[in-house]
Structure 1
Amino acid sequence: MSEFHNLAELALNREGQSWGNLGYWKTAIDYSDACRALALLLGEQAGLDRQSVIFDAGFGCGDQLLLWLEHFRVAQVHGANLSRSQTAHAREKLTEAGFPGAATTIVEGDINDPDIWSATLGTNHPSHILALDCAYHFPDRAAFFATAQQHLVPAGRLALTDFMLSDHPQMGPLAHRLLRWMLKRAHIAEANIVRQDRYRRQLREAGFGEIHILDISEQVMPAFAAYIQALRHKQPAERGRTKLGWTALVKYTVTSRFLKWAYDRSILRYYVISGTRTRRG
């Protein structure tokens, strides 16, 4: 059975890169650079430093793991990822980069499975839990918030990038049906797509305070759509050098058009969110 989360994004990257997020396109014009910029922004908002012990909830193909280790010089990185193929790719990247198991422990599994956390962390507690462009895919994001709170050290930080409904979406019955159809197609639980006030409430109820929410929609949603549109209009021979097959091209075309539609109609917005653990579980 084929995986929904696979290695398709490799075709969008430069040689040697395997990023898989929507990117932060404030200055970037290349997919790999935009994806790295989004990870950098998340790490900065999280306040990563040399003492940080990270749990990465959905680390993709491993490029962000190397960024935490090499750019922020964090002490340890742990993580879980649902995809078998991506996890294998990430392990290869870490091995090739020379990072031993003592510094990194990553496993394949569902982030909502408590056993996955214990298998990765043991009795350790991370100072930071990160979710880069993936939390909207979790089966139950509110449950993820609660689990993250239980495992963080006191005053530990949760940081993620995520979609929310805008406060005033331009959405009639037809637009609502299209949104529901796209969420199902993209393996996103409809319950995960909420307005900012409810999102804040879910974080507070899970035990987080000092909540900061930064709107970066303009630098993500229409910019990713424009990049994919430009890629589609390249000559076939040039596009072939990206190794982007027809199936993947259709997938990204549909995704990019949906994101532009959702942005233009003020239906969805994209944010960097961070919060501090304020109480014990």
Structure 2
Amino acid sequence: MAEFHDLAELALNRDGESWGNLGYWKSETDYSDACRALALLLGEQAGLDDQAVVFDAGFGCGDQLHLWLEHFRVAQLHGANLSRIQTDHAKARLAESGFPAAATAIVQGDVNDPKVWTTALGSNQPSHVLALDCAYHFTSRVDFFRLARQNLAPAGRLALTDFMLAEPHGSGSLVYWLLRWMLKRSHIAEANIVPRDRYLCQLAESGFGESQIVDISEHVMPGFARSIRRLRQQNAVTGSRKILGWSGLVKYTVTGRFLEWAHRRSILRYCVISATKTG
């Protein structure tokens, strides 16, 4: 059975890269560069350094793992990712790049499963738990928060990029039904998309304080939509679907148009979130 999270993003990237996030388009125009910029922003917000022990929840095809290791020079790297094909890809690239220890410390599995954390971490306690552009896909983001706190070292940091509602919408509104349809199509639990105030409450109720939320919507959602339009134009010029394939082209076209609409109508916000383990 085909996995929802696969290697389709490879077609969006330059050769040799396999980023799979929405990108940070403040000054970038290339997809791979924008994705790296978003990961860099998250690492900086998290405060990664050469003493950091990182658990990366939902690392995709693994390009961000190389950034943690090579740019921030983190001391240890662990992680879990739901997709088997992506995890195999990430492991192979880490091993080829001279990081065999990291390759063995990332595992395939659901980050909402406590056993997956144990398998990836062993007896280690991470100083940082990261989730780059993926927490909205988790079965339960609240359960992820609780597991992150449970496994983090004292005063450890949680940092992620995530969607939240700009404001609640009535269950009978057109916006509500369009949003609900898109969430279901994108394998996103409706309970994961909440307003800012509720998001902060969930962090506090899960045992996190000093929470910060930085809205970067204007540098993410429209930029991703523009990049997909350029890809469609490239397909039209070449008269071929080899770049991404029909299914991939439809998937990203729908996603791009939805994000552009959701940003223009102030329905969703895309933010960088960081918080510290309390107690």
Per the normalisation by structure 1, the TM-score is 0.95
Q: Please list the CA deviations of residues 90-146 of structure 1 after superposition, one character each: whole Å capped at 9, or x if unmatched.
A: 011101100122686000001111110000111210000000000000001001101
Q: Please list the CA deviations of residues 202-221 of structure 1 after superposition, one character each: whole Å capped at 9, or x if unmatched.
A: 00111111111000000000
Partner of 2:94: 94
Partner of 1:260: 260
- Aligned mates of 2:237, 2:265 — CA distance in 1: 35
Partner of 1:61: 61
Instruction: Name the Cα RMSD after superposition.
Output: 1.7
Matched length: 279
Compared with structure 1, are the counterparts of its residues 24 and 265 closer, same or farther at alpha carbon in structure 2 (3 Å cutoff)?
A: same
Q: Please list the CA deviations of residues 4-55 of structure 1 after superposition, one character each: whole Å capped at 9, or x if unmatched.
A: 0000000000000000000000011000000000000000000000000000
Compared with structure 1, are the counterparts of its residues 95 and 224 closer, same or farther at alpha carbon in structure 2 (3 Å cutoff)?
A: same
- Structure 1 contact 169–265 (Cα < 8 Å) conserved: no
Deviation at 1:236, TM superposition (A): 3.5
Deviation at 1:168, TM superposition (A): 6.6
1:9 aligned onto 2:16: no
* Identical aligned residues as a percent: 69
1:184 aligned onto 2:184: yes
Deviation at 1:173, TM superposition (A): 1.3
Q: Residue type of the partner of 1:49?
A: D
Deviation at 1:234, TM superposition (A): 2.5
Q: Equivalences for 1:29-40 in 2 at 5 Å?
A: 29-40=29-40
Partner of 1:152: 152
**Structure 1: runs of 5+ lacking an equivalent:** none
Partner of 2:44: 44
**Structure 2: runs of 5+ lacking an equivalent:** none
Q: Equivalences for 1:96-245 in 2 at 5 Å?
A: 96-101=96-101, 105-167=105-167, 173-234=173-234, 236=236, 238=238, 240=240, 243-245=243-245
- Structure 2 contact 131–161 (Cα < 8 Å) conserved: yes
Per the normalisation by structure 2, the TM-score is 0.96
- Aligned mates of 1:52, 1:104 — CA distance in 2: 18
Q: Residue type of the partner of 2:206?
A: A
